Amino acid sequence: MTVLLVALGAAVGAPLRYLADRLVQSRHESSFPWGTFTVNVVGSALLGFLAALPAGEGFTALGGIGFCGALTTYSTFGYETLRLAENGARTLAFLNVAASVAAGLGAAYCGMALASAI
């Protein structure tokens, strides 16, 4: 049953990631990967929130592992960072790494704090 919940969450999270990424990126002319940055920060906040809730294994599998796991994307983050560096935008590549790590951790902390306050 857990595998099905993970798959169901991922079936919603993956297309939402793609659509959100394209929507955000289409509004920026910069080569900075704003779409991936946005979905990763939002996913980190949501995962932090879900992790702090007193929820059962099924809810964690559906929302945390399935949905958030498919919404966020480390592979695309790595690929886009490498492409920036290879194309001579090393400063943007460094900023992408630093900002993604800092914002992701900060967002997860804020999500956990919000869930704890509820």
Structural contact between residues 14 and 70, judged by C-beta atoms closer than 8 angstroms:
yes
Amino acid at 74: Y
> What's the CA gap between 106 and 113, in Å, rounded?
10
Amino acid at 61: A
> What's the CA gap between 46 and 13, in Å, rounded?
12
DSSP 9-41: HHHHHHHHHHHHHHHHHHT--SSS-HHHHHHHH
For residue 72, say whether it is annotated as part of any ligand binding site. Answer: yes
**Which residues define the annotated binding site?**
69, 72
**Which residues define the annotated binding site for Na(+)?**
69, 72
